Amino acid sequence: MPSEPRGTAAVLAEADPGVLAGYPAARGDARPLVLGAGARLRSGTVLYDGTTIGRGLQTGHGVVIREGCDIGDDVSIWSNSVVDYGCRIGDRVKIHCNCYVAQYSELDDGVFLAPGVTIANDLYPGDERSAQLMAGPRIGAAAQIGVNVTILPYVRIGAGALIGAGSVVTRDIPAGAVAFGNPAVVRRAVADLPPIDARVVLDGARTSRDRLAGGHAGTGVTA
């Protein structure tokens, strides 16, 4: 039978067998899980006690959300992604498959993480003082983070920024900027990107029907 969240008045819209809602917190947080109405939890999802989640959560398979998190409404977290403890996630955030959101990260409303995004929070792993000061990045509202991007501790990514696939973000990125590379650097403004119809042409010989004009993807930020 699907698990019921403990100590809350939440109503699960749907939960598969193998869901654990209210897993005991390893770090001594005795508060119960608070889970808003309308959740859709797929098999293998584990939600820890000590976290508060708003309405309409959707999870893929094998999702873990640790204790001490504060998560807004209408958030989607897809298969095999982990949100570690102490994170703050706003409304309408989408975290795609195989992502890791490190402890004490902040994702503002409408952020999108494409598959394979990895967030770090420790400047000098193994250093005691660094462990005391762990902090993930803050990603501003509606920022879009491309496939397999790595974001290092303390970084600030501004609202509406676009980070290209495979980038390593080592420094702050201003709002509305397009950045990519290793390390990621600002290349232009999102407002200056060419329209989609100028980059994609029909190709009836391919199963996908479309191909890129010029044969390259540029920032490659799509999932």
Residue 101 lies in a domain: yes
Per-residue pLDDT tens over the stretch 168-193: 999 999 999 999 999 999 999 999 99
- CATH code for the domain in which residue 73 is found: 2.160.10.10
Residue 121 lies in a domain: yes
120, amino acid identity: A
Looking up tokens 């509406």, which residue turns up?
Answer: 160
Write down the mean pLDDT value for the chain: 88
pLDDT at 222: 44
Per-residue pLDDT tens over the stretch 89-139: 999 999 999 999 999 999 999 999 999 999 999 999 999 999 999 999 999
Residue 201 lies in a domain: no
Q: Domain range holding 153?
A: 12-193
CA angle 8, 14, 20 (to 5 degrees): 60
pLDDT at 216: 54
CA angle 31, 63, 68 (to 5 degrees): 25
Cα–Cα distance measured from residue 215 to residue 222, given in angstroms and rounded to the nearest whole number: 16
Cα–Cα distance measured from residue 28 to residue 67, given in angstroms and rounded to the nearest whole number: 9
Residue among 145, 171, 177, 180 nearest 158 (CA) = 177
Q: Which residues contact 26 (CB under 8 A, 6 or more apart)?
A: 48, 67
Residue 109 lies in a domain: yes
In the chain, the number of structural domains is: 1
